[in-house]
Every structure is written in C-alpha cells, then in structure tokens.
Amino acid sequence: MSSNQVKPPAHGFSTTTARAGAADHDEGQPELGTIGELGAAAIDLLIGGRELYSVFVRTLYYTFNGRREKGVVARQMYEIGNKSLFFLCTTMGFIGMILVYQAGLQAKRVVPDFTMLGAIYLELLVRDFAASIGALMLATRVGAGIAAEIGSMVVTEQVDALRMCAADPIDFLIVPRFLASMLMTLCLIVFAGTVAFVSGAITANIAYEVPYQTFFSMQMIDVGDVSIGLAKCLAYGAAIPVVSGYCGLSTFGGSEGVGWATTRAVVNTSLAIIILNFFISGAGFLIFPG
C-alpha cells in the first residue's frame, strides 16, 4: 500500500469521517445524489451511535469487573485535574466578571436594584452555568488530549498489541480516564464555580457598588439546585472520556487521522454536553419544580 492511501480501520470502529475520507478515493463510484447522501449520513449516524453506546456499556462493565494497574487512576487524575486547574479557573473567572457586568447593565435599565443580583447569579451558577461552561472548557483540553493519545496508540498499532495480549483497550485506556474524569470534573467545577462567583462579586462591588455581604446571598439556593448541579458534573465527567475515547479508538489513516479524531472528539463531546444539559435540566424541572 502506498503512503497516500487510506488504511481501513482494523478495529471494528467506523465513523462518518472515515467514510467521508474513504469516499474521496472511490472516484469510480456513482454519485448518490442528495437523498442518497442524506441516507448514508443517517446510516453512519446510527452506526456511530451504536458503537458509542457499546463503548459506554463496556466502560461501565469494566469499571466494576476490570483489571486495574496500581496508581493508574491517580495518574489520570493528575493529568485531568492538576493540568486543567489554571486554565479552567482563569476562564471561569473572566466569564463570571462578564456575566455579572452584563446582568448589572440590564438590571440597571429596568429596575436599578442590585440587592438580588448575587442571589440570582449564584442560583444560575450552581444549577447550570458552572457545570455546563466548565465542562465545555474541559472538553477542549481533556477530550482532545484523550483522543490524540489513544488515536496515536491506534495508528502505531499499540492498541492491536493490547488485543493480542487478550487485553481490552476499553478496560486499559478508557476506564481509568472515566473514573478520574468523573471525580476531577466534580472537584474542578466546584472550585472554578467558586472562582467565578468571587470574581462576579468583585465586579459587582466595583461597577455597581454592591456590598459583598449583599452579593454573598444563598437565599435562592435549594436542594434541587445543588442536586441538578452535581448530576450535571457527574454526567459531563462520564461523557468526556467515553466520547473522546471512542473517537480515539476509531482513528485510522496515520497522523492525519489523529488530527481528525481530535477535532471530532471536541465537537462530539461538546455536543454530548449540550444534549445532556437539555435532558438533565428537563428532568430537574420535573423533579424539583420549585
């Protein structure tokens, strides 16, 4: 096989990108037309959803029944948590300042009363903003890193070597990241959310002269807000390594394929976070209507 030919995936994973890349080399094939392309895209989407579901189920199975090398989860916790702390806190700090400043501007135009600004901001932060925005930030750093690392192992045939040793790549590569990501996503988002709230309090004090004792109000927070926020943290922490790991395992085609896998990991993980946010928020409003 020449160097510019695309090597088909030998690990059982197929993707839309893979089909699109392979299609560029099928110049002799007749054109499908608009309906045919839509049908092919729908079939690829179903196949991808089935394979992603398979990765998720096997991840859950090996979480309780797999073999675990000593210290591997701790190393992943360091990679995910410690190396993301500065990036996440800096991002959330600036977002907190922007949100409070813009909210204050709108409140000033309608009712120039800032006594509830901190309480409402804290409720939105706990219920949605901290988890969703923080997870989207983590998807760009952690998700891309997981897909690039596993994708590189695929194209260098290290994953095939694992299979030859009767080891499941999901057990050895995805499960440690799955456990570490769930725990560290929760810790990082709680810490970064605190940074966002403090930065918002400083902004409100400087821009609108809101006293700190007025801004630091928890009268709007209830059990439902905390429960929904924690559920989102755990769900996002589980989704990032599963989706990114699936993208990494479906890599083919050398270094170019690793780049595609990284891009798909960021896009698909972000999409998964938004979809999970919709369903968890909907369930939260039904369970905790107040």
Report the percentage of the chain scoring pLDDT > 70.
89
Tens of pLDDT along 243-274?
999 999 988 877 788 888 899 899 999 999 99
Question: What is the rounded CA–CA span in Å between residue 18 and residue 73?
Answer: 31
Within 13 Å and on the Cβ side, how many CA atoms surround 194? Answer: 6
Report the percentage of the chain scoring pLDDT > 90.
42
Residue 13 banded pLDDT, cuts 50, 70, 90: low
Q: Is the entire prediction scored with pTM above 0.75?
A: yes
Q: Are 15 and 52 in contact (CB under 8 A)?
A: no
Q: Smallest Cα–Cα separation from 188: which of 239, 149, 146, 237?
A: 237
Angle between helices 255-287 and 144-155 (to 10 degrees): 140
Which residue type is seen at 209? E
Least confident of 67-71, 83-87, 114-118, 129-133: 67-71
Q: Average pLDDT, whole number, for the chain?
A: 85
Angle between helices 130-138 and 223-249 (to 10 degrees): 20
Question: What is the rounded CA–CA span in Å between residue 279 and residue 276?
Answer: 5
Quick one: average pLDDT of 174-179? 92
Tens of pLDDT along 207-217?
988 999 989 98
pLDDT of residue 28: 56
